[in-house]
């Protein structure tokens, strides 16, 4: 059909007070098409219908309405959009009785019969969870109904929270009903765009999780076990693989599919949000920006004080933080940090928020969005993965140094300005092989068209834990970061720590204990370099030859080499 003509006709029907499909202007229907009743006993299949639906020659010239629906479901198309009520697709392992939707038994097909590339669920439970999993494993692109329907839920939530805010303003005579209605109309585009961004973030989250689960499925196995133990998920009801199946997938380099990952997303967000709400973290004034950013700019500009007094402020802050961390940095992020550093979820969240603030990741992610299109999608995904890794590593370092001792604001104050200064002079920071690596990274990101500051940020991300250790050592000694960096490089080169570091980074832990061992080993190595740097500075051994000589002459050097 002509999409523009059909859209205008459907719009006409939509605007009628009462309408049905038989009101469709038949003169606008393409040759061979028609409007047919599902319950028609006989529908003649025109050559155009047979061609459009790839109906085999052995199928009779006329079939009933429900048989035609089955052929529509099996059409060879790019996208099949399910927007109706009922379950139309199941797995080959399920019977119609298992589906428990007798109304659609005669039209339902199995997932292996679908020929569409993408199955989207505008309606609820258009396909069973086992059907989704089977379709995904056969190469189809599919999420879950909860993911595909999240726009409507998010829009409703925004509307409710706006009306709660406005009701207090109206009650206090600070906003009239008329002005409220005008304002609601004005902010409609902003709210819709915000919801669409949230949906795109969900899609990106699942895409990145698919990739990660093929490489590090043990992180996902550990996470599923944790949220199951806490009661946020039931593996049997949700058809999630058991540990044996996950182990077998790991050996085949297979990960979790999108429908499985979508279930994990829901469980993780509930868990993280509950953990945040059970602490005083949402009461930290530094996090008020998450509450303010929830509302459109026109509302923020006029009613900031009222927003900060919103009765659901703690819940909104916790929700915003959870969405930010999980959507931006991955399903396994919080749990992975908890396991590796024996930390509470709230400490992980605190350090992650501090790292995001210090590294200015919000603005960096915003600039990277210029590549979020069909032509540059691979570049965009690589940039996001690099940002995610930088945040994980920075969070890990902050947890090891300050996880239980400093408040969020104190961490940001301790490192924010000094990191800005270091970033501005990054080109003068490194020496030797470290400088070669930095310049190589910088050239890559500048070549992609990023701004100079953002390119420098990405070039520093490859050693973000080393950067934080330098900043800490600089504060302890009172020396500039470039001097500290020079000594760090000399120590690293002399002791050949770079090889050990790369080996550790390429090691994938099999269990909780290996995760903790890798994390603690890395922490100890960085602290040893920092301590040695402090000693060399105290002894005034800051020249290249003196640094190397003092290391080679030390009693512990031969022990280290052996």
pLDDT at 511 over 70: no
Whole-number pLDDT of residue 429:
83
Whole-number pLDDT of residue 15:
95
DSSP element (H, E) containing 110: strand 109-110
Whole-number pLDDT of residue 512:
58
Rounded distance between C-alpha atoms, residue 327 and residue 208, angstroms: 10
Whole-number pLDDT of residue 544:
62
Q: What is each CA distance from 34 to 22, 26, 28, 59, 538, in whole angstroms?
A: 10, 7, 10, 19, 87
pLDDT band (50, 70, 90) for residue 500: low
pLDDT band (50, 70, 90) for residue 508: low
Least confident of 343-352, 412-421, 440-449, 495-504: 495-504
Alpha helices in 108-176 (DSSP H): 129-137, 145-148, 150-171
pLDDT band (50, 70, 90) for residue 261: very high
Taking only the tens place, the pLDDT of each residue in 241-253 is 999 999 999 999 9
Whole-number pLDDT of residue 203:
92
Q: What is each CA distance from 56 to 36, 45, 74, 333, in whole angstroms?
A: 20, 11, 12, 49
Taking only the tens place, the pLDDT of each residue in 283-340 is 999 999 999 999 999 999 999 999 999 999 999 999 999 999 999 889 999 999 999 8
Rounded distance between C-alpha atoms, residue 439 and residue 426, angstroms: 10
pLDDT at 562 over 60: no
Whole-number pLDDT of residue 513:
66
Least confident of 160-164, 476-480, 531-535, 540-544: 540-544
Taking only the tens place, the pLDDT of each residue in 512-533 is 566 667 666 766 777 777 777 7
Residues pairing with 67 in the sheet: none
For 149-161, the three-class secondary structure string (H helix, E strand, C coil) is CHHHHHHHHHHHH
Rounded distance between C-alpha atoms, residue 479 and residue 44, angstroms: 86
Whole-number pLDDT of residue 403:
72
Rounded distance between C-alpha atoms, residue 185 and residue 489, angstroms: 59
List the one residue out of 336, 311, 500, 476 whose CA is nearest residue 401: 476
DSSP element (H, E) containing 468: helix 464-477
- Supply the mean pLDDT for the chain: 90
Rounded distance between C-alpha atoms, residue 46 and residue 357, angstroms: 62
Whole-number pLDDT of residue 505:
63
For residues 457 and 440, the answer to whether their CB atoms sit within 8 Å is no
Mean pLDDT, residues 64-84? 94
Structure tokens at 415: 């490192």
According to DSSP, the β-strands at 109-110 and 89-90 are: parallel
For residues 233 and 264, the answer to whether their CB atoms sit within 8 Å is yes
> CA torsion, points 342, 344, 346, 351, in degrees to nearest 10?
-20
pLDDT at 101 over 80: yes
Angle (nearest 5°) at CA 150 between 264 and 382: 60
According to DSSP, the β-strands at 62-63 and 43-44 are: antiparallel
CB hemisphere CA count around 234 (13 angstroms)? 2
Whole-number pLDDT of residue 412:
93
């Amino acid at each position: 059909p002509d999409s523009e003509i059909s859209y205008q006709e459907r719009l006409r029907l939509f605007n009628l007070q009462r309408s049905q499909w038989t009101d469709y202007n038949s003169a606008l229907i393409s040759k061979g098409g028609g409007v047919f009743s599902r319950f028609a006993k006989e529908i003649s299949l025109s050559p155009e219908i047979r061609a459009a639906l790839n109906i085999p020659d052995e199928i009779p010239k006329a079939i009933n309405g429900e048989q035609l629906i089955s052929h529509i479901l099996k059409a060879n198309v790019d996208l099949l959009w399910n927007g109706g009520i009922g379950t139309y697709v199941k797995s080959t392992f399920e019977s119609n009785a298992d589906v428990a939707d007798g109304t659609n038994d005669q039209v339902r097909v199995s997932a292996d019969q679908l020929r569409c590339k993408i199955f989207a669920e505008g309606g609820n439970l258009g396909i069973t969870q086992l059907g989704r999993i089977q379709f995904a494993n056969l190469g189809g692109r599919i999420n879950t109904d909860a993911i595909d329907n999240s726009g409507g839920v998010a829009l409703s939530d925004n509307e409710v929270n706006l009306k709660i805010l406005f009701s207090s303003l109206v009650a206090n005579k600070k906003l009239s009903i008329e002005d409220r209605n005008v304002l609601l109309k004005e902010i409609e585009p902003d709210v819709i765009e915000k919801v669409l961004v949230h949906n795109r973030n969900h899609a990106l989250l699942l895409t990145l999780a698919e990739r990660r689960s093929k490489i590090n499925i043990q992180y996902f196995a550990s996470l599923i076990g944790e949220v199951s133990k806490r009661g946020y998920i039931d593996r049997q009801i949700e058809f999630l693989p058991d540990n044996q199946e996950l182990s077998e997938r790991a050996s085949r380099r297979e990960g979790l599919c999108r429908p499985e990952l979508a279930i994990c997303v829901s469980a993780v967000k509930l868990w993280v949000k509950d953990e945040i709400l059970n602490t005083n973290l949402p009461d930290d004034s530094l996090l008020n920006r998450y509450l303010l950013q929830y509302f459109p700019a026109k509302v923020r500009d006029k009613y900031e004080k009222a927003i900060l007094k919103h009765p659901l402020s703690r819940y909104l802050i916790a929700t915003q933080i959870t969405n930010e961390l999980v959507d931006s940095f991955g399903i396994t992020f919080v749990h992975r940090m908890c396991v590796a550093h024996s930390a509470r979820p709230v400490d992980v969240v605190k350090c992650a928020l501090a790292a995001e603030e210090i590294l200015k990741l919000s603005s960096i992610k915003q600039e990277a969005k210029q590549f979020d299109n069909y032509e540059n999608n691979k570049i965009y995904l690589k940039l996001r993965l690099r940002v995610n890794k930088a945040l994980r590593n920075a969070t890990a370092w902050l947890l090891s140094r300050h996880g239980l001792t400093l408040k969020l604001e104190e961490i940001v104050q301790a490192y924010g300005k000094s990191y800005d200064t270091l970033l501005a002079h990054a080109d003068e920071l490194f020496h030797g092989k470290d400088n070669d690596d930095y310049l190589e990274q910088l050239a890559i990101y500048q070549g992609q068209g990023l701004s100079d500051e953002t390119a420098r940020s990405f070039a520093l991300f490859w050693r973000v834990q080393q950067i934080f250790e330098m900043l800490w050592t600089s504060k302890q000694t009172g020396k500039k970061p470039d001097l500290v960096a020079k000594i760090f490089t000399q120590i690293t080169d002399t002791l050949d720590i770079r090889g050990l570091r790369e080996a550790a980074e390429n090691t994938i832990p099999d269990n909780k204990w290996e995760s903790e061992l890798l994390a603690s080993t890395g922490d100890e190595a960085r602290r040893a370099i920092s301590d040695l740097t402090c000693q060399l500075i105290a002894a005034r051994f800051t020249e290249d030859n003196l640094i190397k000589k003092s290391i080679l002459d030390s009693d512990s050097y031969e022990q280290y080499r052996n």
